[in-house]
Structure 1
Amino acid sequence: MRISKEPEVRKREIADTAMRLFAEKGYEATSIKDIAKAVNVVPGLCYNYFKSKYELFEYAITLYASECTAPLVAVLERDEESVEAYLEKIFDIFIKNDGKEKYHDFYHKDGNQLFHKQLEIVMNDKFHPYMKKFIIRLNERGLLHVEDPDTVSKFIVYGQAPIINDDSLMPEEKAEKVMSMIKLLLE
């Protein structure tokens, strides 16, 4: 029996299933036919939404990046009393989520370093505008005095990646190192 779903719901279902299979079998070993079978649809339906497996993967990365950055964006969009209050909330979110993300194992699996780099780029590109607006807003509120919000926000967002992705560090160590650098930049 065929089950009809809204296009965005179906598209998301296909992407979630693809990521699950990529994590289980690997990207190269997973075909559109495998994904369609797991979703219980014909491969042609997958191709209605995505021209290729790579396009499907790019869509999934974008969704995942949005999910991973959403809690941090929510903190940046709040009105807190001090810079320290923001940093504490970001610290707490990072500690709570680091290594527990939905597709963490796929992106951190040996052989998937290029996929992880792609995710890092997408996440940073998504997050940067929010960090820039945050710094500008805190400047306007008198909580910061950053002369070049664009450069500082880029340095914060793109510069923290090697520390965040260092699996030899515990989440608390990563967060402490990143937070100490952010504090230095924002002083």
Structure 2
Amino acid sequence: MRISKEPEVRKREIADNAMRLFCEKGYEATSMKDIARAVHVVPGLCYNYFKSKYELYEYALTLYAEECISPIIEILQRDEESLNVYYQKIVDAFIRNDGKEKYHDFFHKDGNQLFHKQLEIKMNDKVQPYIKEFIVRLNRNGQLNVKDPESISKFIVYGQSPIINDDSLTAEEKADKVISVINLLLN
């Protein structure tokens, strides 16, 4: 019996199963046939949504990056009374979600450093414009006086990655280190 699903629901189902298999078997060892079997569909249906395994991976990577950064973006777009309130809300969101993300096991699996770097780049590229706009908005409101929001936002976003990805630190330690560096840059 064939079960019809909305295209976005089906794409997501395929991506979720692919990422689970990539984590279990490895990206190279997983075929589109394996993914189709896990979704209980014929391989042609997977190819109907994705031209290749890599395109499927790119889709899952983009979804995951957006899910990881969406709580931060939501906070950055709010109007809060002080920079410290933003910091606290971002830290709380980070600590609440760190290590609990949907595809965390795949991207943090030993041997998947290249995949993790791709995720890091995708997330940083997506969040940087929001950080820049945040700085510009706080400049306009008189909360900051940053002369070059573009450069500072890039430095903040791309500079925090080694700290955020340091698994020897707790989420709290990561947050403390990143916030202290951001404070230095913004003040």
The corresponding residue for 2:144 is 144
CA distance in 1, matches of 2:16, 2:139: 40
Alignment of 1:117-132 (within 5 A): 117-132=117-132
CA distance in 2, matches of 1:186, 1:87: 12
The corresponding residue for 2:184 is 184
Structure 1's consecutive aligned runs of 4 or more residues displaced over 6 angstroms after TM superposition are none
CA distance in 1, matches of 2:83, 2:159: 19
- Measured after TM superposition, the shift of residue 98 of structure 1 is 1.1
The 3-state SS of whatever aligns with 1:27 is coil
CA distance in 2, matches of 1:158, 1:104: 20
The corresponding residue for 1:159 is 159
Q: Which runs of 5+ in 1 are unaligned?
A: none
CA distance in 1, matches of 2:14, 2:102: 15
Q: Which runs of 5+ in 2 are unaligned?
A: none
Alignment of 1:51-70 (within 5 A): 51-70=51-70
1:51-82 CA deviation, whole Å, 9 max, x = no partner? 11011001000000000000000100111000
- Measured after TM superposition, the shift of residue 27 of structure 1 is 1.0
CA distance in 1, matches of 2:134, 2:15: 31
Alignment of 1:96-115 (within 5 A): 96-115=96-115
CA distance in 2, matches of 1:35, 1:168: 34
CA distance in 2, matches of 1:7, 1:177: 42
CA distance in 1, matches of 2:8, 2:98: 28
The 3-state SS of whatever aligns with 2:134 is helix
- Measured after TM superposition, the shift of residue 85 of structure 1 is 0.5
The one-letter amino acid paired with 2:112 is N
Matched, 1:88 2:92: no
CA distance in 2, matches of 1:23, 1:101: 14
The 3-state SS of whatever aligns with 1:4 is coil
Figure out how many residues of one structure are paired with residues of the other and give that number. Answer: 187
Matched, 1:15 2:15: yes
CA distance in 2, matches of 1:5, 1:107: 28
CA distance in 1, matches of 2:23, 2:163: 24
CA distance in 1, matches of 2:147, 2:164: 26
The corresponding residue for 1:34 is 34
- Measured after TM superposition, the shift of residue 174 of structure 1 is 0.6
- Measured after TM superposition, the shift of residue 185 of structure 1 is 0.7
The percentage of aligned residue pairs carrying the same residue is 75
The one-letter amino acid paired with 1:43 is P
* TM-score normalised by the chain length of structure 1: 0.98
* TM-score normalised by the chain length of structure 2: 0.98
Matched, 1:25 2:25: yes
CA distance in 1, matches of 2:33, 2:130: 38
